Each structure stands twice: as C-alpha cells, then as structure tokens.
Structure 1
C-alpha cells in the first residue's frame, strides 16, 4: 500500500531531491549518531511527521539533526538503506514485502492508507475490460499491490494484462497521453492525471477491501537500537501532535511540500491516523502483527515472498512500546 515530489507529480515525483531540515543538534553527547539521513515520499503520509518534527524542534530534544531526502517510492528508499545512504525511510503498504524479506526493519507504523487505485482510460469500466491491455505500475509499490488485489478479486492474474513497469512520474505522462490503457497508482498523483483526463475511470480501490493497509517508517538493518529509539520518540511525539492538530498538520505538510493546502487536504482524506497510545496498544495485542500477516500472505500469493515471516522478525515493536513508556 503508501512520495516537492509526490507521489507528488505535483511538484516532484521525478528525481530524488534533497531538503535539509533546519534543525540543529544540541546534545551534550554528539560524538556518535548525532545526524540521521531520513527518506520520504512527497505526500501527506510521507512528510507530515517530518514537517511537524521540524516545527516543534523534536530532533533537537533528542540531540539529533535530521537531513531529509525525497524519493519517488518506497523500494528505492530500501535500496538506499541497504547501500548505507539512508538511515531511515518511509514506505507504503505495497513495499512492506521488502522488510518482510529481511531488507529493512519496520520501526513505526505511520497511518492506514487507502489512496491506491486502478485507473483506466474513459470507456474501460471494469477490470475485465483491461484484459489484454497495457497497465502501467511502479513495481513493488502500493500501486502494484492495488493492481494485484484487483486482479485477484476479479478472478484474473497478472498474465491477463500487459503489465508495464514504470516510474510514478512516467505513469502520469503515459496515461495522460494515452500510451497506456490503465495504471496501478495512488492519490494525489491521480489528481494530477485527472487534470488532463478528467473522465478517467477508477475500476478498483483499496477502500473496497476489508483489509488494513499500514504505512510505516523503516530503518536500515545496521542502524543501532539506541538511535532507532530516539527516532521513534520523535515520530511518536509528532504523531500525537498530528492527531490533536489535523488542520495544522496539513498546513505544515503543505509548507514542506510547497503545495496548496487544498491539495494536501484532499490527499489527507485518504489517510487514517491513529494516536500513539492506540498504536502501542495494537502492537501489544497483536493487531499490528495481524495487519502485517495479511500483507505477508498476499505477497506470498503474488510471488514476492516465498513464505510469510513472523512480523517480530522485522517489526521492532518492542522498541516502539518501550519508547512510549519512557
């Protein structure tokens, strides 16, 4: 499930760009781990907590400086984590197979996202109508997940369509010019496409399922637990501020993305936020594991995983709950 950028073709679903949060480290112990490189996707899910952390000076409180960098999608961030070019990043539900396969650690659940759709050119009104047609998708992302879920629900497989791997920004231009018949993609990029193809069809949506689609923050496998705990504290405090101040969270996100607030507000409408106490409770009672297991089973069915691992092997729920208790 779910990228100024975007998933923001609006201002940047193109290349990786860099932004530096103007946060200074002011810890008495800055010898080690005083700076974190943090990736994000340029949408409300991806930037809201980082924007809030900057506004409230939360990095300074834990003695850290954060350097943030925009990416087009989650899989590219996981590659950067593995190469040592990032310490932390943000992924949507469709990229959760990567930490599940051991390539990163989930350190915090962010939101539940329902922004993913399968869209089609005017006149194509169902998944069956897409049979044999070209469907663009950013592989390994929530757009890919939305397409595979929709195919499964329609009794179809990936062999029933001409699946064309494409970067998110390429999908925007390819669909708008009619070079592809459909796409597995997400809002707010769909709003960008609608500006050029206003009568496009939404033939499938993750909102139509009974599943929950968690977005998450991830860390590289070599990141120290002590540093991870500090970062989790920042994310938890920012998360609770977002829950208490939803309008202000949109304002801060729009400022960071350099977008009109109305666009970010529309994006946020596809997001369910949960207070940290709720996420801690859901970690303890196994709800988060259930969400991850449902995704794991789906990834197995689609050949992205050989078997669904125990979420405890890649979700650091113990660190998440301990950080909240302190």
Structure 2
C-alpha cells in the first residue's frame, strides 16, 4: 500500500535503499549475542510510530533483541529487504503484501495490524462537480490505495472505473494537475488531500474512504497497513518472534495512553516539531494488546476481500489464499 503515506517529512529527502538508524535506550549496553532483527520502515508515515517508539524506548533491548530501524520508503522495497534477509519485520501497505502473495513469495507471514486511519483518503473535485455521478466520462486521478477508495465511491454512485477516464498520477503531481484542469478530480490520502483543497479552494470533497463499502464492512480504511515478519524467523526462533511482537504491541499501548510523550520521542525521525507529530498521531488509531485476536480476525477478512477486489480488477493475476500467510501462533495471548 506501495502506498506512500502521511508526508510528515515532506521536506526531508531520504535516499532510497537501506539507511540504518540505531537508537538504543540510554544506559543499556549493547550485547552482541542478542538476535539482530532489524525493522524496515518509513519516516514519512505516522503508522510507524509504535515501532519507532519501541526502538527509542528500548523495548526490544529489554526483551533481549537487537533491533534498529532501516529506512526504506517504498513498500515494495521493504518486502524485498525482508525477502533478502536484510530485515526481520516491517509495517507496510497490504496491497503490496497481497501482490507478493499472488506472486508466490513465501518469505513472510503477516501477524498484526497496529495502525489505521479511516477518513484520511478522499476525492476532491474541481468546481461544478458535486457528486461522483457528475464525473461520468470525466478524468479522475488516483494512485495505489486511493484507487480502491475511488472505486468504492464510484460504486456508491452506481458507476465503475469504465465510466470515467482514470488517470494514474504520482501523488506529488496531483495538486498541479487538478489546479490546471488536467483532471477533474483527484483521490489521495492526507496530507496531500489538504493540498488539493488549497490548490482548488472552491472545489468539493466528494467523499472519503469512510463512505465506501470497505469501511461499512470492516471499519477500516481501504488498504490499511499490515505487519509482516520473516517466516524463517518464526519457524526457527518463535521465542524471539514472540518477544518482537510483544514489544511492538506494548509500544502501541503506550502511544495510545501517552500520545504527547510518544510525539516527543519520535519527532526526530520525521524532522518535525513534536506538536506537529502529535497533531498527526491524533488522526490515527493504534492497536496493541487489547482484543488483538478479534482485531486480527477482522483484518484477515478484510485482506481476503481486498485480494478478491485486486484480482477481479486485474491488479494481480490470481487471488491468493491470504490465510496461508497469516500466523499469530507466536504472538503472546492477551
């Protein structure tokens, strides 16, 4: 879900590839015997906050693990890093994960969803368009997960993608395209959605992912993140895998209870002041230890539904059995 996300570090250019950011807790000595289980994540998306917090607060070190952040901005590159053995786990868009399943990539399991932000994707139209019905035959730009939101909103209007002129645009090109009239509407996530509103202030919001069947069914955004972990690690060292999962969920619990401290702790990753990160965090819901088995049941169902949509839409060659990649046996029970 590859999915570019909340561009909290829009002015911060991170080279693509694997840039390691180590941040052990103060006063805790490094132990060469601890398993090295790095995390591939982005510093442009606040869904990563629980894992980043766990790194900085030493939750992994306390669990006897050696975990550093490897900055990998693109979801597809994160999967490749895990498949190559460069990292042990990641948090990334599930459209990418499902695409890898369809290709038969058996290097990982998915085991948790720790962040979601329904309402953060939407479609903004130029003046004169008040609904998706008005956009029949018109040009609509979207990209990756936002295309799923677009399709859901079209369906609400009794339309399909064949009823419009779909334009696949990179997110950073949408604002200019909409303001110039190259497209009549654009569907994208925050904060780029707010940028569209500023570019065409007299336009109209035609809907968000909360107005789609996906949200009605599952209460999630169209394609939320999913946590994946090395299958080799789980099968060869389930104890370390369990400690890793427990540290992540512990951090999510802390972020929910103490968002101000969390924002202070992780703001340096996003090159933003803590108050800006805090404002972004408040637009997210983080999921930790509370009711996680039921939460994962819902996300397993959503993954299966999304896989069907991707196959029917021709985005992937075949619908994979997503449950074959689900493994929560190593996750400590609540």
Give the shorter-chain TM-score range.
Answer: 0.7 to 0.9
In our comparison, the structure showing a higher alpha carbon Rg is 2
Structure 2 match to 1:179:
182
**Does 1:239 find its partner at 2:252?**
yes
Structure 1 match to 2:325:
314
The answer to whether the Cα contact below 8 Å between 2:125 and 2:186 also exists between their aligned partners in 1 is yes
- Secondary structure class of the residue paired with 2:30: coil
Q: Out of 89, 107, 112, which is 2:111 matched to?
A: 107
Question: Matches of 2:169 and 2:86 in 1, distance apart?
Answer: 24
- The 1:288/1:35 distance shift into structure 2, 3 A limit, reads closer
Question: Matches of 2:41 and 2:181 in 1, distance apart?
Answer: 32
Q: Out of 37, 40, 43, which is 2:42 matched to?
A: 40
**Does 1:16 find its partner at 2:16?**
yes
Structure 2 match to 1:259:
272
- The 1:69/1:97 distance shift into structure 2, 3 A limit, reads same
- Secondary structure class of the residue paired with 1:136: strand
Return 5+ residue gaps in structure 1 as ranges: none
Q: How does 1:115-264 map to 2 (within 5 A)?
A: 115-138=120-143, 141-209=144-212, 210=216, 211-213=218-220, 214-219=224-229, 223-225=233-235, 226=237, 228-261=241-274, 263-264=276-277
- The 1:40/1:230 distance shift into structure 2, 3 A limit, reads farther
Q: TM-score, normalised by structure 2?
A: 0.78
Structure 1 match to 2:287:
274
Q: 1:228-271: CA deviations, max 9, x gaps?
A: 43432321121111122123333434332122445434433442
* Alpha-carbon RMSD: 3.3
- Secondary structure class of the residue paired with 1:107: strand
Q: Quote how far apart the aligned CAs of 1:164 are.
A: 2.3
Q: Quote how far apart the aligned CAs of 1:173 are.
A: 4.3
- The 1:221/1:124 distance shift into structure 2, 3 A limit, reads farther
Q: 1:43-98: CA deviations, max 9, x gaps?
A: 221x3113311331123223213132141x53443354445555433223554533
Deviates more, 1:127-136 or 1:171-180: 171-180
The answer to whether the Cα contact below 8 Å between 1:119 and 1:200 also exists between their aligned partners in 2 is yes
The answer to whether the Cα contact below 8 Å between 1:117 and 1:143 also exists between their aligned partners in 2 is yes
The answer to whether the Cα contact below 8 Å between 1:143 and 1:184 also exists between their aligned partners in 2 is yes
The answer to whether the Cα contact below 8 Å between 2:24 and 2:58 also exists between their aligned partners in 1 is yes
Question: Matches of 1:200 and 1:48 in 2, distance apart?
Answer: 33
The answer to whether the Cα contact below 8 Å between 2:20 and 2:68 also exists between their aligned partners in 1 is no
- The 1:250/1:144 distance shift into structure 2, 3 A limit, reads farther
Structure 2 match to 1:98:
99
The answer to whether the Cα contact below 8 Å between 1:51 and 1:253 also exists between their aligned partners in 2 is yes
The number of equivalent residue pairs is: 314
- The 1:146/1:243 distance shift into structure 2, 3 A limit, reads same
Question: Matches of 1:12 and 1:242 in 2, distance apart?
Answer: 24
